[in-house]
Amino acid sequence: MRKLVVLGILFLLFIGFGLYTEKALEKSSRQLVSQLKQVTKFVSEEEWAQAETAFNLAREAWTDIESWWALATDHEEIDEIALGMEKTKGLLAGKAKEDLLAELNALTYLIKHIPEKEKLTLSTLF
C-alpha cells in the first residue's frame, strides 16, 4: 500500500510539473510572438530604426527564454529559433524587407509551435 501511495504522489508531482511547464511555455511564447509582431509591423512600414529596437528587445527576451526552454523541449527546434534570430538580425541590417518578413513569419510559427507540441496530453504521458 505504501508503494502505491508513493507512486501516486510521484505521478501527481509529474502532472503538476508538466502543467506548470506548459503554462510557462505558453506565456513566454505569447510574449515573444507579441514582440515579433511589433517588429513585423515596423518592417512592413519600413520604420527600420524602430524595427531594430523592437527586434533587439525580442532577441533579449529570447536569450532569457532559450536556456530554460532547452530543458523542456527539443533542442533541434531551439536551434532553429536561434538560427532564425541570427538570420533576422542579418536581414534587418540589410533592410531586406520581403525576406525579413518571411523569416519573421517562420520564427513566429516556430515559437508558437513549441508550446503546442509540449502540451500535456495522454499521448505525451504514456
pLDDT digits (tens, 9 = 90+) for 36-57: 999 999 999 999 999 999 999 9
pLDDT the model gives residue 46: 92
CA distance 89 to 81: 12
- Residue 100 and residue 103: Cα distance in Å, rounded? 5
Q: How confident is the model at residue 99 (pLDDT cuts 50, 70, 90)?
A: very high
Residue 27 has pLDDT above 80, yes or no: yes
Determine the pLDDT at residue 118: 66
CA distance linking residue 23 with residue 6, whole number of Å: 26
Structure confidence at residue 34 as a pLDDT band (50, 70, 90): very high
> In terms of residues, how long is the chain?
126
Share of the chain above pLDDT 90, in %: 47
- Map out the domains of the chain as residue ranges: 26-118
113 has a pLDDT exceeding 80? yes
pTM beyond cutoff 0.85: no
49 vs 52: CA distance, rounded Å: 5
Q: For residue 123, is pLDDT > 60?
A: no
CATH topology of domain 26-118: Four Helix Bundle (Hemerythrin (Met), subunit A) (1.20.120)
Average pLDDT over residues 106-126: 74
Structure confidence at residue 59 (pLDDT)? 93
Q: How confident is the model at residue 119 (pLDDT cuts 50, 70, 90)?
A: low
C-alpha distances in angstroms, 22 versus 3, 100, 112, 120, 123? 28, 30, 12, 7, 15
pLDDT of residue 124: 55
